[in-house]
Amino acid sequence: MALLAQIMQSSFAKPRPTLRIIPVRTRAHMGGTRQLNLQSFILTPNELSIALTKNVPTKISTAPRVIPLCAAWFLPNDPQGRTGQRVFEQRRIPTARFFDLDAVKDHASPYPHMLPSAETFAKAMQDIGIRKDDEVVVYDTQELGIFSAPRVAWTLQVFGHPGVHLLNNFRLWVEQGYPTESGKFEPVVEEPSHYPTPALDAARVVAFSEMKEIASDHGKEGSEGVQVLDARSKGRWAGTDPEPRPGLPSGHIPGSISVPVSELLDPHTGALLPGEELRRLFESKGVDSERPIISSCGTGVTAAVVDAALGEAGFGQPEARRLYDGSWTEWAQRVSEADGLIRKKI
């Protein structure tokens, strides 16, 4: 009970780069100078298009900008050998920047995508030319639909960037005929940047020690407060399908609920489902909107899709939703079935 009370209290607390793009093909934006404030976290292609049209950046302007941020990322064992950088250069939203998930992380950690230090994060934002007052709209690949962009958006949020949004999604942007461009991406440093070193909002992040305490208490009297939602496939959660990383056992954290990320997305567009559909899905799985929620997955990437879906559904209080950063890759390397901390459901 003391742990639950602690969770409830803590949760509810150089040169500036500009970009020289060598376009291969593009469709021009319409003109316009009136600024537009973006209110929603989830944006449609039309909403982003209007925002870009009304916030055309100039070299002399210091006004806040609307910056599309490509978060393209593919699994290391992608059968087609695709990389985020490569698909970004093949097709992107005009004026977009690229956020490299494999570069902006804790390189000292043995786990794939742990949050970077505040200094690493600030340096990355400087390197891609984003200012603190920019409205950043993160988007995914046309190929995968919603996948890694929510993780990048979540990263910006936990480091306190005030204007963060998620495009739902780039596949629809392309299919609906909005402009794209392609070509090499060449950052050019011209003047000092002023992106400050931020503070991490630790209340939104769950570390291994706390996760282990929650899992160890599962089934004990008074331990019913925290819910863990697992974004991996049902087979991996159940322990019947292998993990994509060699040597890593499958299974699940005791008490966790299987919420495969594929169930949160439209099967044709790869976009997040409408909020009401997401709400019904969470309710059908027995998720209680009145209790704290921790999202988990394989490496902490698609757990953020679950978190974004909870937000779009208006499910639970934002301050009661957190993400287990190390997720299954950390968990399965630090506990065992013999401990009773890896469960399988045949």
pTM: 0.87
Least Cα distance to 121 among 86, 152, 93 occurs for 152
Residue 286, phi then psi, degrees to nearest 5:
80, 15
pLDDT tens track for 77-115: 888 999 999 999 999 999 999 999 999 999 999 999 999
Q: For the segment 48-75, what is each residue's pLDDT rounded down to a tens digit?
A: 999 999 887 666 666 678 999 999 999 8
Q: Which residues does the annotation mark as catalytic?
A: 297
| pLDDT per residue as tens digits for the range 285-321 | 999 999 999 999 999 999 999 999 999 999 988 999 9
Between strands 15-21 and 293-296, the pairing is: unpaired
Residue ranges of alpha helices (H) inside 64-135 are: 84-90, 118-127
Q: State yes or no: pLDDT of 233 exceeds 60.
A: yes
Percentage of residues of the chain with pLDDT beyond 70: 83
Give the other-Cβ count within 10 Å of 108's Cβ.
7
Name the nearest CA neighbour of 291 among 316, 311, 308. Answer: 316
Closest among 122, 105, 125 to 113, alpha carbons compared: 105
Average pLDDT over residues 146-167: 98
- In whole angstroms, what is the distance from residue 22 CA to residue 148 CA? 26
Position 30 confidence tier, pLDDT thresholds 50, 70, 90? very low
Of these ranges, 24-38, 121-135, 267-281, the one predicted with the greatest mean pLDDT is 267-281
| Number of Cβ atoms within 10 Å of the Cβ of 216 | 15
